[in-house]
């Protein structure tokens, strides 16, 4: 789908927040003012990104409301998946990324009997998991499916969003719930993860994968193309931990070895109403990194590669990377 065909993103933002969507704090700092249309990094537009000074999540404000976003995901992004029939999707081979994901979650699948994947409309993970683990019942929920359907003996499709109105179609408790690149699309991540927690069995696990903003500059797109209209949230590692703990999901393993994304597995546990806030020194390092990324992006525009790469290299070495943030 060409970005110009997507109507949703051409609408002006229709919602303004008075506090952070993760922790509720009102104190924030504007860290950037441009972002990509949908997934098209060459088409940037005004997009105000704010960093919360309390939990360090980066959030768009103003932004599109849930009702506008829902139309996009169901009717516009859904067309991406409808280009292929379910029959074709069932025949696909595992993609490299699916193999990485399955390897990451494998140690936690031992006692799993029911697994839910959220928002995997392309079906690569669900089909691969169902074929390799015939003992596991896999449910897949995605708004792009035309109907609920049993497509393999152990793979069930549920048409719809991951929300309470679809509770009658879901089949909890699930021993494992996976959401790959779904959390950054949520307007209300607390409500989303609390619902995930509710559907988990008492000792169940959740796996969350999100893009990671603090990777080396030279493997990044220019900053204008990295913030996106369809990502109302961009997580630092600390803000993701804060959110998971607040929602009663205790992180047990975290991986950023790919440099471009964070994978976390969290176990259902007690809710923590007041996880620790980010320190001032970490907050300043995060903001400093974003300022360097802006300078690097500007250098890429005027002197592609050489000068920009040297700048990135020096900055990265001085800052010793900030992958822990």
Binding site for Zn ion (CB under 5 A): 20, 22-23, 25, 52, 54-55
Token duo for residue 208: 């969350």
Q: Which is nearer to Zn ion, 23 or 115 (CB)?
A: 23
Residue for token digits 């300043």? 284
Q: What is the smallest separation between the CB atom of 19 and Zn ion, expressed in angstroms?
A: 8
Q: What is the smallest separation between the CB atom of 52 and Zn ion, expressed in angstroms?
A: 3
Q: Which is nearer to Zn ion, 22 or 262 (CB)?
A: 22
Q: Which is nearer to Zn ion, 37 or 283 (CB)?
A: 283
Q: What is the smallest separation between the CB atom of 279 and Zn ion, expressed in angstroms?
A: 14
Q: Which is nearer to Zn ion, 7 or 30 (CB)?
A: 30
φ and ψ at 170, to 5 degrees?
Answer: -75, 165
d(CA 96, CA 100): 6
Region of 320 on the Ramachandran plot (φ > 0 left; ψ -120 to 50 alpha; else beta): left
Q: Which is nearer to Zn ion, 6 or 20 (CB)?
A: 20
Helix then strand then coil, in percent of the chain rounded to 5, is 35, 25, 35
Q: What is the smallest separation between the CB atom of 65 and Zn ion, expressed in angstroms?
A: 20
Q: What is the smallest separation between the CB atom of 59 and Zn ion, expressed in angstroms?
A: 8
Long-range residue pairs from 160-166, CB within 8 A, at least 24 positions apart, any chain: 161/70, 161/73, 161/74, 162/118, 162/119, 162/192, 162/195, 162/196, 163/195, 164/195, 166/141
Determine whether 232 is exposed, middle or buried from the number of CB atoms within 10 Å of its CB (0-12, 13-18, 19+).
buried
Q: What is the smallest separation between the CB atom of 135 and Zn ion, expressed in angstroms?
A: 40
Token duo for residue 4: 């110009």
Q: Which is nearer to Zn ion, 211 or 275 (CB)?
A: 275
d(CA 314, CA 294): 15
Closest CA to 232 of 50, 74, 41, 11: 50
């Amino acid at each position: 789908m060409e970005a110009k065909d997507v109507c949703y993103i051409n609408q002006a933002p229709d919602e303004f927040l008075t506090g952070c969507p993760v922790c509720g704090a009102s104190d924030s700092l504007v860290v950037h003012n441009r972002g990509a249309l949908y997934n098209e990094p060459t088409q940037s537009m005004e997009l105000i990104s704010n960093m919360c000074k309390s939990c360090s999540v980066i959030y768009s404000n103003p932004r599109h409301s849930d009702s506008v976003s829902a139309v996009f995901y169901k009717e516009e992004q859904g067309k991406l998946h409808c280009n292929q029939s379910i029959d074709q999707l069932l025949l696909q081979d595992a993609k490299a990324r699916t193999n990485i994901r399955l390897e990451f979650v494998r140690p936690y699948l031992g006692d799993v009997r029911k697994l839910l994947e959220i928002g995997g409309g392309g079906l690569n993970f669900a089909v691969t998991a169902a074929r390799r683990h015939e003992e596991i019942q896999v449910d897949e929920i995605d708004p792009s499916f035309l109907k609920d359907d049993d497509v393999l003996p152990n793979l069930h499709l549920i048409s719809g969003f991951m929300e309470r109105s679809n509770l009658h179609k879901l089949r909890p408790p699930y021993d494992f719930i996976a959401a790959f690149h779904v959390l950054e699309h949520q307007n209300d991540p607390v409500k989303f993860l609390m619902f995930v927690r509710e559907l988990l069995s008492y000792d169940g696990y959740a796996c969350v994968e999100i893009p990671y903003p603090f990777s080396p500059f030279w493997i990044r797109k220019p900053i204008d193309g990295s913030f996106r209209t369809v990502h109302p949230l961009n997580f630092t590692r600390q803000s993701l931990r804060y959110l998971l703990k607040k929602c009663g999901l205790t992180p047990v393993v975290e991986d950023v070895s790919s440099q471009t994304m964070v994978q976390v597995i969290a176990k259902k546990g007690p809710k923590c109403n007041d996880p620790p806030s980010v320190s001032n020194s970490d907050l300043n390092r995060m903001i400093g990194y974003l300022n360097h990324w802006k300078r690097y992006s500007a250098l890429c525009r005027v002197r592609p590669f050489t000068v920009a790469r040297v700048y990135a290299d020096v900055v990265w070495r001085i800052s010793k990377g900030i992958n822990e943030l």
